[in-house]
């Protein structure tokens, strides 16, 4: 199934509107180009509706949330909903502050999301409206493990039922689910958490994959996560071979995304349906 | 002619004030240092006049335009005009939203630009006050080709006549023109469009080259475009040789700019006067 | 003494709250992860107190100062003081504009800093409330040399006495001092000034080292500076060996920080007490 999905991205070169944070924005733009999409970053309230109208999907990332852009997020989201563009949410640090948690709730009231991607702490906050998020990384107590895997899958399905969005919980083990079907993905490498922006980049890639595969969002999201995970594995291999470090790792990761194709994706994907 | 131009940049180490976007700002700062200049990024309305006063040129880039910084752009631009500093405009995405198109017009009313650099869609928007810009990349229908080259040169000269600025239209084929003379430049590589920020970086480099060659802005702009294009060619060669990808490519490009000298520039420039 | 300091960073993985600039923010986040810390970037006035409360230290960097975040800096700083978290200041470009100089003064009135790190021009501005800062780089007239070393040490001690903060003056020769003790550090390489953000990155690393060594801030600051300088030396060696340029240099620098350990730090530190 992944062959058609990734080929659609390359063929359609979808334009992805990002309202995102200033920490990882350059990496997000670069990985969008690398995977075959095209990025636009625009966050002023006076232009977001127009910009999103010429795009194929919208990614909202609250990584450096500020009061100036919340209204922009809502306006862009509503317009994207109107136009039936996929809208992806990355609730970075939801649970770490009232502003982030409240904004996440507010966004849910105003916008219908197609996909929500976060670590387990952030996703729990989305569910509960409160959380134990320790900054922008998942709380250790919150890790998805083989022991709580089934339970977490049920939780993801329930949240998907509740929100209507595909839920992507990423970490050592990744879960992607709608209300009925779930995938468990075991790609990736721990070094991905030693460079900033791997989560944000993944969310932007999901934006491109969903834009090019509007009828198949669950699989498009799963394919993005596998692709990113495989890039992480290959990047780790190369980093080790070159005896280099975490900054080289990030470069290799984006490099491998720019070379990702259907064959590498199919051969490398460690995905099972649950 | 390029020897003196590039040597002036190295010798004078001009300070370039950038009011730019948050996507590619780090790359702009790094390539300014790489080419021999020195960057300052400052956009608050309370300090832009002072900052621009201690600098040698000003680069205005509307890549992530927001209402907070429009006034800063105007204040800095007027002060730079007063001091006879070169002022360079990169109208990123002009035509993609009313905010960008209107702001571009407004900037032209208030500021006298020395150089305007954009892709053909953006430059057409500057001319017409409207455009068909598809996001931040040039519309395919708008490409500069050998077929429409003469026509595009005439257009560039006319726009230079109209605005008083040197016009730099960059893409597969680059055109630099004032109202009387035009250069056609065929350096560069398509991979430059697969990494974000090559346009923004070029505009900042033009800022440095013009600051160090105030009496010779047309040639300084042409030299910047040749230098950047040669870096793109060398970076592509190295990326291919290393079998790496688009993120390595960007690193190599900045690396080669940090090693650019008069000899490499003279030997590699593919430029003809038209 | 450095063994325990660096091992504490790795063991405690301190969370560092950064209110910083949009030019080098990605590099700051990455080097924090590389050295063993964990970064949070958050600057909205509605969340900075909460965010700083879950962190172990606070870094305030005025690199792209704007009026929106000054209040955030003050609120976060006061909260961090209340909680006895180390608070580090990087007065980027202090002296280059009234806004920066005045804001620096204002921050001093409201916040008790643990460490202030800047180049000599910036630190002089902190002392005098005015300066000759040429942009964001130190004025050449201001260089610390062997000739004025003792004088500069006395100045650093006096400023520490006055502010209660550890003073870190970095450049070709680095000085770290409290009111009684000073260290002179001769690590580093001139190529560090040919890539943007080495100063900002160092300040963030100091944030991590101080957070993990609250009882020993002077030595933690000295260790950070030695570590960063050693990374610069190793990165230069590798850059030369690979015949690459300034962008590779930055990558190698972060790479080496991700591999820094007690042994490398002890063996490489060129530090003497004065």
pLDDT for residue A1 = 81
Contacting C with CB below 8 Å, chain A residues are 21-24, 26-27, 63-68, 93, 96-100, 134-137, 193-197, 244-248, 250-251
Q: What is the predicted pLDDT for the residue at B158?
A: 95
Chain B residues with CB inside 8 Å of C26's CB? Answer: 26
CA distance B93 to chain A (A): 9
Minimum-distance CB partner of C34 among A68, A197, A245: A245
* pLDDT band per the 50, 70, 90 thresholds, residue B1: confident
Å between B255 CA and nearest CA of chain A: 14
Q: What is the pLDDT of residues B14-62, one digit of tens each?
A: 999 999 999 999 999 999 999 999 999 999 999 999 999 999 999 999 9
Indicate the residue of A22, A39, A256 with minimum beta-carbon distance to B245: A256
The C-alpha of A97 sits at a distance from chain C's nearest C-alpha, in angstroms, of: 6
Q: Give how far B129 is from chain A: nearest CA, Å.
A: 16
Q: Are A55 and A82 in contact (CB under 8 A)?
A: no
Inter-chain touch A21–C33, beta carbons under 8 Å: no
Asked if A26 and B27 come within 8 Å (Cβ–Cβ), the reply is: yes
User: Which of A14, A19, A25 should be substituted to probe chain B, the one whose Cβ sees the most B Cβ atoms within 10 Å?
Assistant: A25
Q: What is the pLDDT of residue A136?
A: 66
Identify all chain A residues contacting C68, using CB atoms and an 8 Å cutoff: 66, 68
DSSP code string of B54-111:
TSSEEEEE-TT--HHHHHHHHHHHHHHHHTT--EEEE-TTBTTBHHHHHHHHHHHHH-
Residue A77 is part of which domain span?
2-273
The answer to whether A29 contacts B248, with C-beta atoms less than 8 Å apart, is no
**Given an 8 Å threshold on Cβ–Cβ distance, is B43 in contact with C23?**
no
Checking if the pLDDT of B130 tops 60, the result is: no
Nearest-CB residue to A64 (from C15, C43, C252): C43
Q: What is the phi/psi pair of residue B48, to 5°? A: -65, -35
Alpha-helical regions (H) of A36-174: 48-53, 67-82, 98-110, 120-128, 149-163
Q: In this structure, what CATH number is given to the domain that contains residue A48?
A: 3.40.1190.20
- For chain C, 274 residues long, the average pLDDT of each consecutive 10-residue run is 96 98 98 98 97 98 95 98 98 94 95 97 86 61 87 96 97 97 98 97 98 98 98 98 97 98 98 94
At residue B8, the pLDDT reads 98
Q: Which residues contact A45 (CB under 8 A, 6 or more apart)?
A: A68, A69, A71, A72, A75, B67
Q: Could you tell me which of A98, A105, A100, A95 has the C-alpha nearest to residue A125?
A: A95
Q: Which of A106, A194, A246 to mutate to test the interface with C (most CBs of C within 10 A)?
A: A246
End-to-end CA distance of chain B: 17
3-state secondary structure of A24: coil
How large is the C-alpha radius of gyration of chain A?
Answer: 17
pLDDT at A128: 84
Residue B192 Cα, gap to closest chain C Cα (Å): 16
Classify the C-alpha dihedral C253-C259-C265-C267 as positive or negative: negative
Q: What is the tens place of the pLDDT at every residue in B69-117?
A: 999 999 999 999 999 999 999 999 999 999 999 999 999 999 999 999 9
Mean residue pLDDT of chain A comes to 95
Contacting partners of chain C (3+ CB pairs under 8 A): A, B
Give which of C21, C23, C249 to mutate to test B binding, by max B Cβ within 10 Å.
C23
Look at B68 and C68 and tell me if their CB atoms are within 8 Å: yes
Touching partners of A (3+ C-beta pairs < 8 Å): B, C
At which residue do the structure tokens 């976007």 appear?
B21
Per-residue pLDDT tens digits for A213-236: 999 999 999 999 999 999 999 999
> How many pairs of residues across B and C have Cβ atoms under 8 Å apart?
98
Identify all chain A residues contacting B71, using CB atoms and an 8 Å cutoff. none
Residue C185 to residue B131: CA distance in whole angstroms: 57
Residue A259: list chain B partners with CB under 8 A.
245
Residues of B in CB contact (< 8 Å) with C are 15, 22, 25-26, 29-30, 33-34, 38-47, 50-51, 54-55, 68, 250-259
Cross-chain Cβ contact B15/C134 below 8 Å: yes
- Which chain A residues have any C-beta within 8 angstroms of a chain B C-beta? 15, 22, 25-26, 29-30, 33-34, 38-47, 50-51, 54-55, 68, 250-259
**Mind listing the pLDDT tens digit for each residue in C125-165?**
998 875 555 566 666 567 899 999 999 999 999 999 999 99
* Close Cβ partners of A165 (under 8 Å, ≥ 6 residues apart): A89, A112, A113, A114, A115, A116
Nearest CA distance, C49 vs chain A (angstrom): 9
A60 neighbors A54 (Cβ within 8 angstroms): no
How many angstroms away from the CA of B103 is the closest CA of chain C?
Answer: 21
Question: Using the beta-carbon criterion (under 8 Å), do C98 and B47 form an inter-chain contact?
Answer: yes
* SS3 assignment, position A273: strand
Chain C residues in contact with A21 (beta carbon < 8 A): 41
Best CA proximity match to C251, nearest among C36, C40, C34, C64: C34
Averaged pLDDT, B215-239: 98
Give the one of A66, A134, A246 whose C-beta lies nearest to C43's C-beta: A66
> CA A83 to CA C84: how far, in whole Å?
51
> So what's the pLDDT on residue C122?
94
Give pLDDT tens digits for A137-165.
666 567 899 999 999 999 999 999 999 99
Q: Residue A131 above 80 pLDDT?
A: no
* Chain C: residues touching B (Cβ < 8 Å): 21-24, 26-27, 63-68, 93, 96-100, 134-137, 193-197, 244-248, 250-251
A115-118 and A87-90 as β-strands: parallel, antiparallel, unpaired? parallel
Say if residues B254 and C245 touch (Cβ distance below 8 Å): yes
User: Which of B99, B98, B96 shows the shortest CA–CA distance to B118?
Assistant: B96
pLDDT given for residue B274 in this prediction: 85
List of chain A residues whose C-beta atoms are within 8 Å of the C-beta of residue C37: none
- pLDDT attached to residue B23: 97
Is B244–A254 a contact, with Cβ atoms under 8 angstroms apart? no
Contact assignment for C134 to B54 by CB distance below 8 Å: yes
Instruction: Please write the tens of the pLDDT for every residue from C194-232.
Output: 999 999 999 999 999 999 999 999 999 999 999 999 999
Taking 70 as the threshold, does the pLDDT of residue A203 lie above it?
yes
For residue C143, the model assigns a pLDDT of 85
Position B269 scores a pLDDT of 98
Cβ contacts of A183 within 8 Å, gap of 6 or more: A175, A176, A177, A218, A222, A271, A272, A273, A274
Chains that touch B (3 or more CB pairs under 8 A): A, C
What Rg do the C-alpha atoms of chain C give, in angstroms? 17
Mutation for testing the A interface, residue in C248, C251, C264 having most A CBs under 10 Å: C251
For chain B, the domain total comes to: 1
Query: Helix/strand/coil (H, E, C) string of C153-186?
Result: HHHHHHHHHHHCCEEEECCCCEEEECCCCEEEEC
Stated pTM of the model? 0.96
Residues of A in contact with C254 (CB under 8 A): 245-247
Nearest CA in chain B to A16: B135
Contact yes or no for A258 and B21 at CB 8 A: no
Judge contact between C199 and C117, C-beta under 8 A: yes
| Residue A132 pLDDT exceeds 80 | no
Question: CB of C152 within 8 A of CB of C142?
Answer: no
Please provide the DSSP assignment of B36-59 as one string: T-EEEE---TTTHHHHHHTSSEEE
- How many Å apart are CA A138 and CA A133, to the nearest integer? 6
């Amino acid at each position: 199934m992944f062959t058609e999905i990734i080929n659609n991205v390359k063929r359609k070169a979808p334009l992805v509107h990002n309202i995102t944070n200033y920490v990882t924005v350059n990496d997000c733009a670069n990985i969008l180009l690398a995977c075959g999409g095209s990025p636009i970053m625009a966050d002023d309230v006076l232009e977001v509706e127009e910009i999103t109208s010429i795009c194929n999907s919208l990614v909202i990332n609250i990584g450096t949330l500020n009061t100036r852009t919340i209204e922009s997020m809502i306006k862009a989201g509503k317009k994207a909903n109107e136009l039936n563009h996929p809208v992806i949410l990355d609730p970075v640090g939801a649970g770490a502050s009232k502003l982030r948690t409240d904004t996440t709730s507010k966004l849910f009231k105003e916008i219908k999301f197609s996909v929500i991607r976060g670590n387990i702490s952030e996703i729990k906050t989305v569910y509960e409206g409160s959380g134990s998020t320790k900054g922008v990384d998942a709380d250790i107590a919150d890790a998805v493990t083989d022991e709580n895997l089934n339970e977490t899958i049920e939780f993801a399905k329930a949240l998907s039922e509740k929100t209507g969005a595909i839920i992507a919980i990423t970490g050592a083990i990744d879960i992607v689910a709608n209300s009925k079907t779930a995938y468990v993905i075991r790609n990736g490498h721990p070094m991905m958490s030693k460079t900033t922006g791997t989560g944000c980049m993944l969310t932007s890639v999901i934006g491109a994959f969903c834009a090019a595969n509007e009828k198949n969002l669950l699989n498009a999201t799963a394919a993005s996560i596998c692709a990113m995970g495989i890039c992480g594995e290959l990047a780790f291999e190369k980093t080790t071979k070159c005896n280099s470090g975490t900054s080289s790792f990030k470069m290799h990761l984006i490099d491998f995304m720019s070379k990702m194709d259907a064959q590498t994706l199919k051969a490398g994907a460690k995905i099972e349906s649950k």
